[in-house]
């Protein structure tokens, strides 16, 4: 049976001293990070869940027939306390987790799953929503109201509101266990980042890294009590940036294996394989209980792709051409190995090292000569903020008076061109042990006309921290990530809807990456690049010749980049297309068989995420949906090509995409939003050109 939060917390009284007890008095209800302590979270969660269930009881206790106002609007307004605490807690457990927060997260995971079930499996509540759904054509709803009603109705049905009592009991148990396993998986990933870090004894083994990178590795070692040694951290993906520079082949192999074999229980370490097998089995069982053949079919039913077959076809249609490109790239790298005077075969840990050599020789671009032109603050201020000002007229003004959850974090007012307020933007750039890998956007406060709330959003990245006193010089990959995450940020900041459930980035998974991927391409536009790509010492703009080489080199190695993504996306769909009795006993064998089945089993180009550390799909909400990045990229590439053809980075273009896409959330069908901006449905042509797979 599930855990009932009402019973658990029925005698709880939330102290007025708890900073979550009331809306924050700070600007736009920004969290009071200077007052929030670990001990505040659990009481606020429990009380928040209790109060929301009382609000649901008030809805079902009404004798008046259901109306949009007394039922749907009441649901939209419910859970204010729970939303406040959840938004802060979910961000901190991702970006600045400690042992206390981890323990609270473990305790709360099943309670939150049960709480959701207590609402969505409430038969009286569903009856009111269903009656509105049945009469929807008579209600004279606006487009947004109609979408909100549809989404609420589908949420109840997809949660199991129509199941019988025994089926609902099983659904509750499954949801509780899935929640526990997802939390465990996320905790394991954070522990694995530390467990799999590579310790280097002799600085000579680090030849090829810059002085700044070596100093940073020494500083990381000192922080971990390993003074005199050097620590190379792994990243969230299979590839590790230092592989492109390290000359010591044995160290490259150690570093690659540390990353690629994490979560497999190697050398007595953490083993995630039992977790993912359990998660796959439970998700498959739940899908069948709900009437779907697989978890993938369940998840994609209300996405743009609609079916796993449609998503899989897009991926597999791309695969042959991408594999052909990879084989040519491999032959090119094998030639580089030979001309370098080496006789070893090309291995996975060699690819990026020799690709960097080839990139330098083919395009005459040396990353160590390029990075000084990409200083973090200049990229942020003169690149990202400058572009958003040119395109949308918005201004970012830093302020120091609001509390933050870590000293690295910066806060900016976001203002319209006339100075009127939009919201707040938090920026958390640097990698740390307490932060999970990757980059993401989240919200502390969602925009809502109904609740009269302005958005407070945060962009979180994992840029390597420079050594003390050194500038933060970032790779070109991190430059595009900054633009990408700002795209998510604007999607939240520009939201202009009434109901919070359809605000900002609350859209289908295969649409949410469109606004962010779209913004990436401004980073390589010459007029934008020349504004932020300035040498951190001299202020000199990046030379035109070097800029041209950087732009040409940005299309290099796209076979590798695309295949590692396709392999991960196909793995995700295959895991989640299984029925309960098809779940394998051996996760590694299943992964290998899947890659072979689709002709993408190239040892030198492993999946971007192998199954045992695939955070997106096992704990990050992207199960069956990792394909969404390239699905959204089709939209993004098509939209960007259209924008360039109609004037480029102009206020008129910015106003149009803001009005038709960025402000809409999911208040209408996402393809309708796209067509309202673009005038037609997208084609894949611009995507192939964007990835350098077609001229």
Catalytic residues: 485
Q: Which 3 state secondary structure label does DSSP give 225?
A: coil
Phi, psi torsion values for 102, nearest 5 degrees? -65, -40
Cα separation, 281 vs 580, whole angstroms: 5
For 79, how many CA atoms within 13 A lie in the half-sphere containing its CB? Answer: 18
Cα separation, 652 vs 145, whole angstroms: 29
Closest CA to 296 of 624, 598, 584: 624
How is residue 467 annotated by DSSP? Answer: P
Cα separation, 281 vs 570, whole angstroms: 18
**Three-state helix/strand/coil letters over 302-350:** CCCCCCHHHHHHHHHHHHHHHHHHHHHHHHHHHHHHHHCCCCCCCCHHH
Residue 338: alpha-carbon gap to chain centroid: 40
Q: Which residues contact 292 (CB under 8 A, 6 or more apart)?
A: 298, 301
Cα separation, 58 vs 332, whole angstroms: 69
Continuous segment of H or E residues that includes residue 119: helix 99-120
59: tokens are: 């809805």
How is residue 239 annotated by DSSP? Answer: S
Q: Is 468 left (phi over 0), alpha (psi -120 to 50) or beta?
A: beta
Cα separation, 465 vs 478, whole angstroms: 12
540: tokens are: 């000199």
324: tokens are: 């052909």
Q: What is the dihedral of CA 675, 681, 561, 614, to 10 degrees?
A: 70
Q: Rounded to 5 degrees, what angle do the CA atoms 172, 176, 182 make? A: 140
Q: How many residues does the chain have?
A: 695
Task: State the helix-helix crossing angle for 348-363 and 544-553, rounded to 10 degrees.
Answer: 140
Q: Is 475 exposed, middle or buried (0-12, 13-18, 19+ CB in 10 A)?
A: middle
Residue 615: alpha-carbon gap to chain centroid: 10
């Amino acid at each position: 049976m599930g855990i009932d939060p009402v019973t658990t917390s029925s005698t709880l009284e939330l102290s007025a001293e708890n900073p979550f007890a009331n809306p924050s008095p700070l600007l736009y209800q920004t969290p009071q990070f200077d007052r929030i302590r670990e001990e505040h979270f659990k009481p606020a969660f429990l009380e928040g869940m209790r109060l929301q269930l009382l609000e649901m009881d008030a809805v079902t206790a009404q004798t008046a027939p259901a109306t949009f106002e007394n039922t749907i609007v009441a649901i939209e307004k419910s859970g204010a306390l729970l939303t406040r605490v959840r938004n802060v807690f979910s961000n901190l457990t991702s970006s600045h987790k400690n042992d206390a927060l981890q323990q609270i997260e473990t305790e709360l995971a099943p309670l939150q799953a049960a709480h959701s079930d207590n609402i969505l499996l409430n038969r009286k509540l569903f009856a009111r929503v269903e009656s509105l759904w049945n009469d929807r054509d008579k209600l004279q709803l606006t487009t947004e109201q109609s979408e909100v009603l549809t989404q609420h109705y589908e949420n109840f049905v997809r949660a199991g509101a129509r199941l019988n009592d025994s089926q609902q009991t099983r659904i509750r148990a499954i949801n509780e266990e899935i929640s526990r396993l997802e939390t465990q998986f996320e905790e394991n990933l954070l522990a694995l980042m530390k467990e799999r870090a590579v310790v280097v004894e002799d600085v000579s083994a680090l030849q090829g890294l810059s002085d700044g990178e070596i100093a940073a590795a020494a500083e990381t070692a000192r922080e971990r009590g390993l003074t005199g040694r050097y620590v190379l951290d792994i990243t969230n993906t299979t590839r590790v940036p230092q592989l492109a520079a390290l000359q010591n082949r044995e160290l490259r192999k150690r570093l690659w294996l540390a990353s690629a074999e994490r979560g497999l229980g190697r050398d007595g370490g953490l083993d995630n394989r039992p977790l993912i097998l359990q998660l796959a089995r439970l998700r498959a069982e739940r899908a069948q209980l709900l009437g779907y053949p697989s978890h993938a079919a369940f998840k994609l039913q209300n996405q743009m792709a609609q079916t796993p077959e449609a998503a899989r076809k897009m991926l597999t249609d791309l695969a042959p051409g991408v594999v052909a490109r990879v084989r040519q790239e491999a032959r090119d790298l094998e030639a580089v190995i030979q001309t370098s005077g080496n006789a070893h075969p090309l291995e996975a840990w060699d690819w990026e090292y020799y690709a960097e050599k080839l990139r330098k020789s083919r395009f005459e671009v040396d990353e160590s000569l390029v990075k000084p032109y990409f200083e973090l603050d200049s990229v942020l201020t003169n690149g990202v903020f400058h572009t958003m000002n040119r395109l949308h007229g918005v201004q970012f003004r830093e302020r120091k008076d609001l509390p933050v959850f870590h000293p690295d974090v910066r806060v900016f007012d976001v203002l319209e061109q006339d100075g009127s307020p939009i919201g707040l933007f938090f920026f958390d750039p640097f990698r740390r042990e307490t932060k999970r890998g990757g980059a993401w956007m989240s919200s502390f406060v969602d925009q809502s006309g109904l609740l009269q709330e302005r958005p407070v959003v945060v962009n979180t990245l994992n840029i390597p921290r420079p050594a003390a006193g050194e500038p933060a010089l970032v790779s070109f990959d991190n430059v595009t990530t900054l633009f990408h995450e700002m795209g998510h940020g604007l999607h939240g900041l520009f939201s202009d809807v009434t109901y919070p459930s359809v605000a900002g980035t609350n859209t289908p998974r295969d649409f949410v990456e469109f606004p962010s991927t779209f913004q990436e391409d401004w980073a390589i536009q010459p007029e934008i690049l020349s504004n932020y790509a300035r040498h951190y010492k001299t202020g000199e703009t990046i030379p035109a010749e070097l800029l041209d080489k950087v732009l040409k080199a940005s299309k290099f190695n796209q076979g590798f980049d695309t295949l590692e993504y396709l392999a991960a996306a196909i793995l995700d769909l295959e895991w989640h297309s299984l029925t309960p009795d098809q779940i394998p006993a051996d996760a590694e064998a299943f992964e290998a068989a899947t890659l072979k089945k689709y002709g993408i089993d190239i040892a030198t180009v492993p999946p971007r995420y192998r199954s045992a550390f695939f955070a997106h799909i096992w704990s990050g909400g992207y199960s069956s949906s990792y394909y969404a990045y390239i699905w959204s990229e089709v939209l993004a590439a098509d939209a960007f090509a259209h924008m360039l053809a109609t004037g480029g980075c102009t206020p008129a273009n910015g106003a149009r995409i803001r009005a038709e896409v960025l402000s809409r959330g999911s208040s209408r069908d996402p393809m309708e939003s796209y067509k309202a901006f673009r005038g037609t449905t997208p084609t894949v042509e611009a995507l192939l050109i964007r990835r350098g797979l077609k001229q």
